[in-house]
Amino acid sequence: MTRSVYVTGIDRGDGRQVVELGVMELLTRQVDRVGVFRPLVHDGPDRLFELLRARYRLAQDPATVYGMDYQEASALQAEQGTDELVSTLVDRFHLVARDYDVVLVLGTDFADTQLPDELSLNARLANEFGASVIPVVGGRRQSAEAVRAETRNAYRAYDGLGCDVLAMVTNRVAREDRDEIAERLANRLPVPCYVLPDEPALSAPTVSQIAHALDAKVLLGDDSGLARDALDFVFGGAMLPNFLAALTPGCLVVTPGDRADLVVGSLAAHSAGTPPIAGVLLTLNEVPSDEILTLSARLAPGTPVLSVTGNSFPTAEHLFSMEGKMTAATPRKAETALGLFERYADTGDLARRVSAPSSDRVTPMMFEHKLLEQARADKRRVVLPEGTEERVLHAAEVLLRRGVCDLTLLGPVDQIRKKAADLGIDLGDTQLIDPATSELRDAFAEQYARLRAHKGVTVELAYDVVSDVNYFGTLMVQEGLADGMVSGSVHSTAATIRPAFEIIRTKEAAPSTPDAVAAGAGRATPHSSIVSSVFFMCLADKVLVYGDCAVNPDPDAEQLADIAVQSAATAARFGVEPRIAMLSYSTGTSGSGADVEKVREATELVRDRRPDLKIEGPIQYDAAVEPSVAATKLPGSEVAGQASVLIFPDLNTGNNTYKAVQRSAGAIAVGPVLQGLRKPVNDLSRGALVQDIVNTVAITAIQAQTSAS
């Protein structure tokens, strides 16, 4: 039977979209097929469903999501009674439930519904659907005692109506009251109660939402600027010095359009980061001259400047009544909401309580969820040398909002702050370091000179070398000031990993002399294992591990065996059961030649060194992954047809194959992930997307957990 979770409330304004999004995230970690059902809906677009559909790539037909609209429901209840209304909604629910492993039900919103006893209706629907209930209680602008009493009463109400209450959520409480409320409720309810503090960024409208609501004309600004949250409103009327002192981080400046001094002054303050603002809203239908607008665009590129026809007072009334909404067009709010939910709700315990049916399928989304969850479980610090790169900053924002790891960004600090301000990104307490001016530079130069003395590197030369962000970041990892490093979005692979070969070295016993350090990319020495790489290839229903597709051009049999063992360990670390296929153009004993013999020898070496590993080779790709081909070519093999770790004989084959599968099969390729180093350093593609960077940083943090254990 389909397991369903019904998220409901007791009144309007509880901000339960945070909980609905958090529960959806939790469900999609566990199963592939998650459906959505909203019993009753208002006219107009359903912002939350559109967000869920975009974020979780839902293929569900929107027509099946809704039971009926409130007007129809009210008429049906008045004419034929509640039993007929419930019966109709139950029938429509089961049309969805039959096609999905689990269904998230979005309860009624208690907003202008004209339905009597709405709480009882939600409870009855949950019971008829066979759904467990998560009631949400809003605590905004309420005392701690009032919030506790309302939460206890809500539990009693749903429990008394026969509901299976999974957990209670008290949302939007005053941040200073959060811990006390959580502690007091923990001993008063028989189910967990997760207490979430109010988060201003969630209720703050974006500049784009303000522009739409006020029918404002956008004079300046790009998409990133329009996506900023307006956390406060500062109204211009004072002289410039007093006005500048009133600015707050993330504020929207509202001023008559003829006050060019306030426009230029606020944008100059933003450019200097003192403080970064959301934008400028001009009233009275007054627009500054072209010269002022040109200067404004140069002072703060991308920062929005809007214009409205009304005067400041009615504009202020409208602004103060606005509240931000999570939509498919506000992905940053979604990240904030998920970070809030994951920080204050015990998602592991809640997942066990939901007990959704387990799935053998591992979708790309499920794999990505697992990465973030693993990284978050034991937070590490990752250094990102490319601190001024826009994609890196966007990825940093996601990682910080989701609480995945701690971050250090390298680069000129003022430039990082200005770029973040221009993008509307709050870096919080992220560590920012400029290698050129850091107090660590002298010590790092001495350390690097000692390591490379055999190459004639002096302290003076080292002083210049360690100002390079990749060398500086690698030395931070070496010295334990960071747990791992990710670079490469604007640097070559060589520039990213060469410092790691010189400084961090390989996992095996350290060479007795500096001369024993690996001389070429990934080459083995008698004292060290090879450095290699894997890609996690996320197909529609499973994850395969490909190695080596990025580092070693033509490994010999010994090196190929090392790559296989390393790749199996990496696969296991990330939840992929290793079944190794040593790939060749020949399967079994059907072929011969130097290339086939290399793979055959490597396979035997792995069997000798690690008899516990499941391995087959030489084997062709189709026999490795397709059961019907395996049944013909290698019947009885415990690897053929179900291989999960595929080892390519050379870089030419591996690199081309991963790219062919990525582009032709629509697979998501996560990597390359380096393996064999004593501490984790990973490379990015220069075409990496924000999500690619997020995934790679999460993988690096997980590798660091293993390195520290």
Task: Compute the distance between CA of residue 64 and CA of residue 272 in angstroms, rounded to an integer.
Answer: 51
Name every residue whose Cβ is closer than 8 Å to that of residue 23 and which is 6 or more positions away in sequence. 5, 7, 104, 134, 350
| pLDDT over threshold 90, residue 357 | no
pLDDT of residue 33: 86
Q: Quick one: what percent of the chain has pLDDT higher than 90? A: 52
- Token readout for 66 is 């809704």
145: closest CA among 171, 169, 180?
A: 180
User: What band does 156 get if pLDDT is binned at 50, 70 and 90?
Assistant: very high
Calculate the alpha carbon distances from 113 to 51, 77, 117, 121, 382 in Å.
23, 12, 11, 12, 49
pLDDT of residue 671: 82
Task: Compute the distance between CA of residue 648 and CA of residue 548 in angstroms, rounded to an integer.
Answer: 6
Contact, 361 vs 542, CB < 8 A? yes
| pLDDT over threshold 60, residue 358 | no
Task: Compute the distance between CA of residue 360 and CA of residue 349 in angstroms, rounded to an integer.
Answer: 21
User: What band does 510 get if pLDDT is binned at 50, 70 and 90?
Assistant: very low
Quick one: 205-321 is in which CATH superfamily? HprK N-terminal domain-like (3.40.1390.20)
Beginning with the edge strand found earlier in the chain, give each strand of the sheet holding 251-256 in spatial order.
217-220, 305-307, 279-283, 251-256, 232-235
| Whole-number average pLDDT of the chain | 88
pLDDT of residue 212: 92
Task: Compute the distance between CA of residue 447 and CA of residue 475 in angstroms, rounded to an integer.
Answer: 8
Contact, 442 vs 463, CB < 8 A? yes
Name every residue whose Cβ is closer than 8 Å to that of residue 143 and which is 6 or more positions away in sequence. 177
Task: Compute the distance between CA of residue 547 and CA of residue 349 in angstroms, rounded to an integer.
Answer: 36
User: What band does 557 get if pLDDT is binned at 50, 70 and 90?
Assistant: very high
Helix (H) or strand (E) holding 68: strand 66-69
107: closest CA among 54, 163, 62, 150?
A: 163
3-state class (DSSP) for residue 579:
strand
Q: Of 83-87, 183-187, 431-435, where does the model show the most confidence?
A: 431-435
Contact, 398 vs 690, CB < 8 A? yes
Class of domain 529-676: alpha beta
Task: Compute the distance between CA of residue 139 and CA of residue 144 in angstroms, rounded to an integer.
Answer: 8
Contact, 535 vs 545, CB < 8 A? yes
Q: Which of these CATH numbers, 3.90.1170.40, 3.30.1330.10, 2.60.40.10, 3.40.50.300, describes 3-201+332-349?
A: 3.40.50.300
| Domain extents in the chain | 3-201+332-349, 205-321, 360-503, 529-676
Contact, 29 vs 351, CB < 8 A? yes
pTM of the model: 0.79
Contact, 359 vs 30, CB < 8 A? yes
| pLDDT over threshold 80, residue 521 | no
| pLDDT over threshold 80, residue 517 | no
Task: Compute the distance between CA of residue 584 and CA of residue 508 in angstroms, rounded to an integer.
Answer: 28
The number of residues making up the chain comes to 709
pLDDT of residue 708: 62
Using DSSP, how many helices (H) and how many strands (E) does the chain show? 29, 23
Q: What is the tens place of the pLDDT at every residue in 306-353?
A: 999 888 788 888 888 888 888 888 888 999 999 999 999 998 888 888
| pLDDT over threshold 70, residue 659 | yes
Residue by residue, DSSP assigns 160-179 as HTT--B--EEEEEE-GGGHH
524: closest CA among 503, 512, 507?
A: 507
pLDDT of residue 522: 42
What DSSP designation does 13 have? -
pLDDT of residue 694: 93
Contact, 392 vs 384, CB < 8 A? yes
pLDDT of residue 112: 67
Task: Compute the distance between CA of residue 155 and CA of residue 185 in angstroms, rounded to an integer.
Answer: 11
652, 698, 203, 149: CA torsion to nearest 10: 150
The stretch 478-486 carries a mean pLDDT of 95
List alpha helices for 488-539, DSSP H. 493-503
User: Where are the strands (E) in 483-613, listed by range?
Assistant: 484-487, 532-538, 543-547, 579-583
Task: Compute the distance between CA of residue 404 and CA of residue 432 in angstroms, rounded to an integer.
Answer: 18
Helix, strand, coil percentages in the chain from 3-state DSSP, rounded to 5: 45, 20, 35
Residue 308 has a CB neighbour count (10 Å cut-off) of 22
| pLDDT over threshold 90, residue 516 | no
Rg (CA), the chain: 29
Residue 124 has a CB neighbour count (10 Å cut-off) of 20
Side chain identity at 63, as an amino acid letter? Answer: A
pLDDT of residue 444: 94
| pLDDT over threshold 90, residue 134 | yes
Calculate the alpha carbon distances from 224 to 165, 556, 681 in Å.
41, 49, 30
Three-state SS letters, 656-701: HHHHHHHHHCCCEEEEEEEECECCCEEECCCCCCHHHHHHHHHHHH
581: closest CA among 552, 550, 544, 554?
A: 544
User: What band does 45 get if pLDDT is binned at 50, 70 and 90?
Assistant: confident
Least confident of 126-130, 272-276, 599-603, 652-656: 272-276
| pLDDT over threshold 70, residue 509 | no
3-state class (DSSP) for residue 444:
helix
What DSSP designation does 455 have? G
Two domains, one topology: 3-201+332-349 and 529-676: yes
Region label for 448, one of left (φ > 0), alpha (ψ between -120 and 50) or beta (otherwise): alpha
Residue 522 has a CB neighbour count (10 Å cut-off) of 25
Q: Which of these CATH numbers, 1.10.10.10, 3.40.50.20, 3.40.50.10950, 3.40.50.970, describes 360-503?
A: 3.40.50.10950
DSSP bridge pairs for 280? 253, 305
Q: What is the tens place of the pLDDT at every residue in 53-81?
A: 998 888 898 889 999 988 888 888 888 88
602: closest CA among 567, 558, 552, 569?
A: 558
User: What band does 297 get if pLDDT is binned at 50, 70 and 90?
Assistant: very high
